Structure formats: structure tokens, C-alpha cells
Amino acid sequence: MHNETTQLILIFKEKKLDLIKISLLLNAFEIAKRISFQKQKNYTRFIVRLSIAATAISVAAILITLSIVNGFQHTISDKVYDFWGQIRIASVNGAPLEVNKQMEQGLHSIAAVERVTPFLNQSTVLSFQQDIEGVVARGFDANSATPFIIQGRGLQNKTDSISNEVVLSDHLATTLNISLGATVRLYFLNVADVQQRKLKVVGLYHSGIEDYDKQFILVDIKLLQQLGNHPNQIEGYSIQLKKGANIESVNDEVQRLMPANWVATTIKDYYPQIFDWIGVQTVNRNVTITIMLLIAIVNLLTCLFILMLERIPMIGTLSALGASQNFIRRIFLFQASFICWMGIGIGSILGIGLCLLQLKFGWIQMDETAYFIKTLPIEFNGAQICAVILGTAIISYISFLIPTLWIKKIAPAKAIKFD
């Protein structure tokens, strides 16, 4: 401690510093740098490194948590939206609707609407060789994009005739041992009559949502309309929105175009259990971030208190030399800043780096039957990353002010004698 005091006195003499007249800020920075990064081994060096590591781990954990929750929420939501659209139009009482071309044109005039697709669902029995399975045939325009294709292709129909093709889930194909190109039979019950259709399997899809993969097969909507003898009858419309569109506001706009007894409903309202579960992840995220921030703050507060205790003789010497309390406070604020920003920098690199590795290699796998996704998803948000960096720095600086208030209670005479 006496050597450090002597070094400080030499600094003032060599540079002919007058603490009252020169730039106190520059000198405080110089002293903070010397006592933070001096080469000889002491408690200060160990505490500084430990605090930097703790801050880095906290920042990395927050960034990783945000990226995982973002990826998880958006991936699951997009799966549901790809299958059903963000908005569904149906009748108030659940009765079938008639195709309304004028309303479709009105919907396409809404800037946020990307695609409007009529659909029709009907229960059926799928038969292949000696195996049968009860499923729901989801009929839509055969020329529309078929979601989640993993093998083969989607439905196609280049003429006005009915497409005799079907897309199965990989789950059903595996369960019934059906391969691409095979012909399956569908049995439909209409009133008291059972009608059979032979369809060729042209593609396999995999949504990852077990209830969908077990239940739905995809067919041309014209096939279901023919079976019901109602060529213009549909169950409703599914509306796909452009990325970033506000679903609630667009739903209100769509509702204003609806004829009497038609209603537009967001898919979130149709499947609240899925979206409520997704929403719970936000609560988990906020709790995790709060805990990590508290850990970082307590770590930095403890670190600064210990550093100040270790430097009581230095504080007394500087006070005796005429340094003001604000000058001494700046020294420790600069020292805390080194720890804070080095921790934030290392933590940001570590957190973003680990997320990039997961994006590239997908090392972390999940139980798809429980989470609807096989590989842990990652999604970056630039605004959130900036908010974490700036927010951590601001909270840290506010926390730093608390220990420095203790400086004014240190008496120079007692401090110099402190050991």
C-alpha cells in the first residue's frame, strides 16, 4: 500500500499536476487505469477479473435467453399461421358459406393481406392395403402453396378438372407404410351414402405439430365440393398476412368487409391453448432476465465496495493531497466502467457467438412431440441486443453511485493509517 501511495505522489510530481486547476477527469481516468490493470498480483486484479467474468456471463445469458424465446415463439406461431393463416373467415353459426368473389377482391385490396384461400374440411377414412385410419381431409385450392413439404411436391392442377392427388403427413405415411407415388383410397360418408375416391400420394409434409400431422391430409377443394354436390360451397377463408402486419388491426379491417352473418377471427382466438402457452414463455423470459440483471448488479456493487475497502489508504492520501470527493468518486466510477464495459463486450461476443453456432450447426435438439420443434430455434433482434447493452450499462452506472457515497465518511488521517 505504501508503494502505491508513493507511486501516486510521483505521478503528481512528474506531471506537475495541480488537482485544483487541471482536468480532474483525465487524471481520475489515469489513476483508475493504473490500479485496475497493474501487472503485479493482488486482490484488485483477481476481483476485477472475477467481476468482468460475472458481468459477461449475465449479459451472455440475457442475450441467449432473448434469442431462444424469440425463435421459439415465432417458429411455433409461424407453423400455425402457415397451416391456417393468421385470420379465418367463417359463418357465425358454423354453416357452410358460398364463394364470394366480390368480397375476395375487397380482401386483396387490403395492403397487409398476402393471400386469401378458401378451404373446406371433411372427415374421411384413409385406406391403404389392409390398414385404415380416420383422418380429416383439408381441401384448398390445388394451385396454392402447400405448407411443410419435406418430400415430393405439393398439390398441382393446371386444368379446371379435379386433382386426384393427395399430400400426407410423414407420420401417417410411416404409420401406414405408404410411399410416394402410392395410390390410397378415401371413403367419405355423405348422408347415407359412402363414396370412395382413389388418390395418388404426391408429397409428404411435416409440421411438427403432432395433432396436425396425425389428423390432416391435404386434397383439392374441388374434390370435396364434388362429393357434397355444392361446387361453390366452402367452410370459410384463410387469410395469410404479410410479415410484420398487425393481426388485430387487419382483422378489424377485414371484419368491416364481411357480409351479414360472416365473421373474421384471428387464429389466436381459434387456438388459444397454443398461443397462451407461447405467451407463458414471455413470462419465463422476463423472470430469467430480471434474475440475471440482479446478479450482475449485486456482483458489481460487491466488487466496488471491496475495491474501495482495499484502497482506503489511497483515498486518505488523495484527500490529504487536496483531491475532492468528486475526484475520488470519479476514480472508482472509471474503474467500475472498465469492469462494466469489458464484461458487456465479452458477454455480447459470447452470447451472440453461441447463438450463431446453434444457428449454423443446430447442436441442441428438442423433443418435437412436446415442443413442436426439433432443433432449438434462434432469432436475433437488433433492438433487443442494443437495449440489453445500453440497459445493463445504465443500470450498472446507477448502481455504482451507491458505494461511492461512502467516500465522504472516510477521514484522511485514519485512512492513511488503515491497514
CB 183 within 8 Å of CB 217: no
Residue located via cell numbers 436475433: 380
Query: CB of 221 within 8 A of CB of 120?
Result: yes
The pLDDT score that the predictor gives to residue 45 is 72
Per the CB < 8 A criterion, the answer to whether 207 and 79 are in contact is yes
Grid cell of 286 as nine digits: 422476463
Rounded distance, CA 49 to CA 339, Å?
Answer: 8
Q: Dig out the grid coordinates for 112 from the structure.
A: 397487409
Element (H, E) at 318: helix 312-320
pLDDT of 55-106, one tens digit each?
A: 899 999 999 999 999 999 999 999 999 999 999 999 988 888 998 888 989 9
Long-range contacts of 405-408 (CB under 8 A, 24+ apart): 406/305, 406/308, 407/308, 407/315, 407/325, 407/328, 407/329, 407/332, 408/325
Residue 8 carries which side chain, given as an amino acid letter?
Answer: L
Contact in structure between 113 and 243 (CB atoms under 8 Å): no
372: left (phi over 0), alpha (psi -120 to 50) or beta: left
Q: What's the confidence (pLDDT) of residue 162?
A: 86
Note the pLDDT of residue 274. 87
More confident residue, 228 or 178: 178
Per-residue model confidence (pLDDT) at position 124: 93
Q: Can you tell me the distance from the alpha carbon of 72 to that of 77, in angstroms, rounded to the nearest whole number? A: 9
Check if the beta carbon of residue 85 is closer than 8 Å to that of residue 254. no
Give the pLDDT mean for 33-40.
60
Query: CA 407, CA 323: separation in Å to the nearest integer?
Result: 12
Cα-based distances in Å from 281 to 69, 70, 384? 7, 9, 16
11 pLDDT above the threshold of 60: no
Residue whose C-alpha is closest to residue 205's, from 286, 304, 138: 138
At 153, list the grid cell.
411436391
SS (H, E, C) 215-246: HEEEEEHHHHHHHCCCCCEECEEEEEECCCCC
Size (the chain), residues: 419
Q: What are 358-400's pLDDT values in tens digits?
A: 999 989 998 888 888 889 999 999 999 999 999 888 888 777 7
Q: Convert 123-137 to b/e letters by CB count within 10 Å (16 or more is b).
A: ebebbbeeeebebeb
Residue labelled with grid coordinates 426439433: 374
pLDDT digits (tens, 9 = 90+) for 260-318: 889 999 999 988 888 988 888 888 899 989 888 888 888 877 777 777 777 667 666 66
Phi, psi of 324 (to 5 degrees): -80, 165
How many other C-beta atoms can be found within 10 angstroms of the C-beta atom of residue 178?
22
Q: Give the span between the Cα atoms of 265 and 261, in whole angstroms.
A: 13
- Using a pLDDT cut of 70, give the percent of the chain over it: 80
Q: Name the 3-class secondary structure at 391.
A: helix
One-letter amino acid at 368 equals: E
